[in-house]
Amino acid sequence: MKKYTILSVILLQFFIQTQAQTSNLEKDKETIKSLCGCFDVDFKYKETFSASKNYKPKDVYETGALEWVSYEPQPDGSVRMQHILIIDSSMIIKHWREDWSFENPNIYTYDKNYRWTKTKVDAAKVKGTWTQKVFEVDDRPQYDGVATFSYFDDKTLWQSTVDAPLPRREYSKRTDYNVLNRGNRLYISPTGYLHEQDNKKIKRTTGEKDTLIVDEKGVNIYKKIEESKCQAGIDWWQKNKVYWNDVRTVWTDLLPTLPELAIQFTVEDKKLYERLFKLNEDLIAEKKYDSKKAKEEILKAIKLHLITATDTNKPTKQTPLKSETY
């Protein structure tokens, strides 16, 4: 009888634990869903401390935007979220994208000078975590942050620290650093969310110790507003997402074949995003969209910008988009 009692207690504890895990997972999914919709966004960045007395902090960077974020749950349980910038009804820009995946062991680790390596994370370390995979406007990987959602005092927090390339607001203006160590924190509420950053701008050279150039504080405030105010962006995405889904598919098929990811941004005076944006316009404008043809053209464009591990390690200067925001 005693054995049965002990077994019953163990089974009860297992059941309670399983129910709690299921409840937390569903809560996490609803939290991620709340990051989608129509937002009025303010972006603010200020450099704070430098180890060098001779360093002169750059001017405060501040801007705003109207942004719509799609909610696209996938069969594998991950969620795709495409950010769309709405300048006005006639100027819509496909912005960055983020994918969220649960207990994901496969990430891209940024080294320097637009090179990433594949990293396999131990299963125990990703248990209960969500990976935020951030992609550039050309849909190549930017950085992967891994962390759990925390719920306390009616607040929700997700935070990670990860190396990344220079942000768009600086990659065409700065050569004194080549790695942005991002301290990302998302504070999420029913009215939107705060993306707070404590960043370190680092100069990284092979075989040498990293040099910290300056610390930076970032505050991005996403205020949720009526969905109708983003209708122009919603309509644009409905029309153009068939093409960008093909871009995603090409990247998804290509990345596993590469020992590492290394990008040359300027080839024959054109950037990768410029080529992909032009293909978007041309192929969507055709009488009938041809997915097979699109994927062939997309792959050709991407391969023009891939470089091998034996190529130069020099960073490539990039040209900013019409709107730079993060």
Domain ranges for the chain, please list them: 1-33, 37-305
Is-contact 107 248, C-beta < 8 A?
no
pLDDT given for residue 7 in this prediction: 55
Distance in angstroms (rounded) separating the CA atoms of residues 202 and 182:
11
Q: Along the chain (326 residues), what's the average pLDDT of each consecutive run of 10 residues?
A: 56 45 84 98 97 94 96 96 93 96 97 95 96 97 97 93 94 92 96 97 96 98 98 97 98 95 92 97 97 98 83 46 44
* Share in percent of the chain as helix, strand, coil (round to 5): 30, 40, 30
- pTM of this structure: 0.87
Query: Can you tell me the distance from the alpha carbon of 225 to that of 86, in angstroms, rounded to the nearest whole number?
Result: 14
User: What does the pLDDT read at residue 21?
Assistant: 52
SS3 150: strand
- The helix (run of H) or strand (run of E) holding residue 239 is helix 231-254
Looking at residue 1, what is its pLDDT?
A: 58
Eight-state DSSP code of residue 319: P
pLDDT for the residue 317: 46
- Rounded to whole angstroms, the Cα distance separating 195 from 218 reads 8
- In sequence order, the β-bridge partners of residue 68 are 38, 84
Tell me the C-alpha distance between 171 and 319, whole Å: 8
The helix or strand, by DSSP H or E, that contains position 173, with its residue range, turns out to be: none
